[in-house]
Amino acid sequence: MTVTVESTWLICPGCADLVFRPKYERAQRVCPGCGHHARLTARERLDGLLDLGSHKPVETALAADDPLGFTDTRPYRERLAAAREATGMREAALCASGTIESHPVVVACLDFSFVGGSLGSGVGELVTVAAEKALSERVPLLIVTASGGARMQEGALSLMQMAKCSQALAKLDEAGILTIALITDPTYGGVAASFATLPDVLIAEPGAHLGFAGPRVIAQTIRQELPAGFQTAEFLLARGLIDAVVPRPALRRTLARLLAAARPDAPTMGEEAAAQGEWLVRDPAALPRRAAWDAVRLAREAARPTALDYAGMILEDFIELRGDRAGKDCPAVVGGIGRLRGRGVMLIGHQKGHDTAERVRRNFGMPTPAGYRKAMRLMRLAAKLGLPVVTLVDTPGAYPGIEAEEEGQAWAIAESQRLMSGLPVPVVTVITGEGGSGGALALAVSDRVLALSNAVYSVISPEGCAAILWKDAAAAPQAAEALRLSAPELLRQGIVDAVITEPGDGAHTAPARTAELIQTAVRRACDDLAALPPAELVERRRRRFRSYGSPSSEETRWPITAT
Ligand SMILES: [Zn+2]
């Protein structure tokens, strides 16, 4: 047998190097040199994503071809016939139900090789039928996109498919069913402006382009050079418009983790060693006395575990979800979905970082409005899916900067509190470090508020308080004492419900053990709260915050005693 050079080697469209074809095909057409992701057909895509043998086609009758009798340089009927001949498909979408690592899913997959994956009546019908199947079977919907946009040959009927698919997704939102878009290169126009961007979680392949107007149209209209990487997955991720960029070989695993975490079912927690013991303290007198200023310094210790450290230690299969979907991703707030001893939860926290570079990049854990807007997006998703919300608070405060003010810092903090007060799911907060003012409270309007024993929670930083009231920042230790911001004092005031005693010389000396205690306390709180009907949960949460400073609630609080 003779093998020609052309058939065993090909030129990578990304780096123009010669690539060994069998290896390339085995890698699902990802270049081993530059990582370029070449296009796949819908059939190849379904085969690559679904468990072997699980695939069942979802088919439906389609309307008659060519509703307008359209002809450009060639009759539309001829174009359709040629596309069908070339691809073996009836339309530019293929739908199936199946499983990904045993998790059921309905998939609608577009194919760019069929008339540019364009959105006509047939594609709109197939995507809608897939969504309806997901709804009737209460199974998550995955949409894989690849499209140049609307199908012009079907005129306004093509445009209407955007609304048809968008409302099919709205029904899945109303029914609490997870939707995911996998964005592949390219995804533009009517598909981008409907079912590619509406799903709960947006994952894109590296280098995939996603946008409303194509780059040529934009360049011609504005007559400006477009920035490097414009409309690529990486560009969009940095601007908070998608959740993650995932290389093709990792897609199945990532999707399986998402599908697993989004399931509301929750096996009860087994009894574990940490469940008993004196580490969870409700009596302030049982906590050691220490100067408030020492607590402030410990709460700020750079080596204390961060929200992402805890996410990795207390959750199985944590997947970070990013962006406010409105143009920004604030690195000082992180969040994502994972399983807390089997129970799916949404975890959201302030993120400081350990070394100087990360602390600078994370703005020292001081969120911008985009951070709170990301948090709110994730809380709404948790509410949709029926997942408890767990927040980890550690911030000096919301970012006091020009941009943050221009973007509505006060508005964002206010909206977050209002949203949290009405979430129909359990909300549990752990103050893990600094609970700095409104920037902390915006993530802490919760059913249960726990604090680590070296955490602090305060209306203002001791330095700020000292500068204003003492006219001397050096009076910070006195201000810290007067503000009663340490864990025992917060317990006395009823601001926190229980204090988790940090092992060793503090959380930074025993991060894994600290995480284990948080995991146990939070899981137990979630289990208790999940037993309540949503309306009662909300009612009790509102009663809690109604009681602060209310004359009728004084007798139910511990008296604030002099130290
Ligand atoms: Zn390459």
State yes or no: pLDDT of 263 exceeds 90: no
Overall average pLDDT of the 350-355 stretch: 95
Cα(435) to centroid of ligand 1, in Å? 48
Residue 164 token pair = 């048809």
Residue pair 58/106 in contact by the 8 Å Cβ criterion: yes
Name the nearest CA neighbour of 94 among 123, 61, 137, 74: 123
CA 391, 178, 44: angle at the middle one, nearest 5?
125
Name the nearest CA neighbour of 198 among 131, 111, 104: 131
Name the nearest CA neighbour of 483 among 398, 391, 548, 563: 563
Cα(231) to centroid of ligand 1, in Å? 20
Name the nearest CA neighbour of 182 among 117, 233, 123, 129: 233
**Separation CA 114–CA 80 (nearest Å):** 8
Overall average pLDDT of the 528-538 stretch: 96
Cα(297) to centroid of ligand 1, in Å? 51
- Helix, coil or strand: residue 24: helix
Predicted local confidence at residue 271, as pLDDT: 53
- The Cβ of residue 539 has, within 10 Å, a number of other Cβ atoms equal to 12
Tell which wins on pLDDT, 485 or 562.
485
Residue pair 339/345 in contact by the 8 Å Cβ criterion: yes
Predicted local confidence at residue 559, as pLDDT: 42
Give per-residue pLDDT as tens, 379-432. Answer: 999 999 999 999 999 999 999 999 999 999 999 999 999 999 999 999 999 999
**Separation CA 157–CA 67 (nearest Å):** 9
Overall average pLDDT of the 275-298 stretch: 88
Name the nearest CA neighbour of 118 among 86, 88, 157, 85: 157
Cα(37) to centroid of ligand 1, in Å? 9
Q: Which of 4-13, 102-111, 488-497 has the lowest mean pLDDT?
A: 4-13
Cα(29) to centroid of ligand 1, in Å? 10
Name the nearest CA neighbour of 54 among 99, 108, 94: 99
Cα(16) to centroid of ligand 1, in Å? 6
Residue 214 token pair = 């194509």
pLDDT band at 199 (very low <50, low <70, confident <90, very high): very high
Predicted local confidence at residue 7, as pLDDT: 80
Burial class (CB in 10 A: 0-12, 13-18, 19+), 55: middle
Overall average pLDDT of the 125-137 stretch: 98
Cα(30) to centroid of ligand 1, in Å? 8
Q: What is the mean pLDDT of the chain?
A: 94
Overall average pLDDT of the 290-317 stretch: 96
Cα(244) to centroid of ligand 1, in Å? 22
Predicted local confidence at residue 278, as pLDDT: 85
DSSP string, 365-422: G---HHHHHHHHHHHHHHHHHTPPEEEEEEES-S--SHHHHHTTHHHHHHHHHHHHHT
Cα(213) to centroid of ligand 1, in Å? 27
Residue 364 token pair = 């020292």
**Separation CA 20–CA 11 (nearest Å):** 9
Cα(319) to centroid of ligand 1, in Å? 28
Predicted local confidence at residue 77, as pLDDT: 97
Give per-residue pLDDT as tens, 207-239. Answer: 999 999 999 889 889 888 899 999 999 999 999
State yes or no: pLDDT of 269 exceeds 90: no
Predicted local confidence at residue 563, as pLDDT: 34
Q: Name the residue type at position 122.
A: G
3-state helix, strand, coil in the chain (%, to 5): 45, 20, 35
Residue pair 544/553 in contact by the 8 Å Cβ criterion: no
**Separation CA 536–CA 303 (nearest Å):** 39
Residues of the chain above pLDDT 70, percent: 94
pLDDT band at 309 (very low <50, low <70, confident <90, very high): very high
| Predicted structure pTM score | 0.95
Cα(33) to centroid of ligand 1, in Å? 5
Predicted local confidence at residue 560, as pLDDT: 43
Overall average pLDDT of the 155-168 stretch: 98
Give per-residue pLDDT as tens, 66-79. Answer: 999 999 999 999 99
Predicted local confidence at residue 558, as pLDDT: 43
Predicted local confidence at residue 168, as pLDDT: 98
Cα(12) to centroid of ligand 1, in Å? 5
Report the Cα–Cα distance between both ends of the chain, in Å, rounded. Answer: 91
Give per-residue pLDDT as tens, 79-96. Answer: 999 999 999 999 999 999
- The Cβ of residue 41 has, within 10 Å, a number of other Cβ atoms equal to 18
Q: Which whole-number Å values give the CA distances from 305 to 355, 455, 513, in the listed order? A: 12, 12, 11
Cα(351) to centroid of ligand 1, in Å? 36
Q: Name the residue type at position 84.
A: R
Cα(17) to centroid of ligand 1, in Å? 6
Predicted local confidence at residue 225, as pLDDT: 87
Residue 292 token pair = 């408030």
Give per-residue pLDDT as tens, 448-480. Answer: 999 999 999 999 999 999 999 999 999 999 999
φ and ψ of 213, to 5 deg: -95, 140
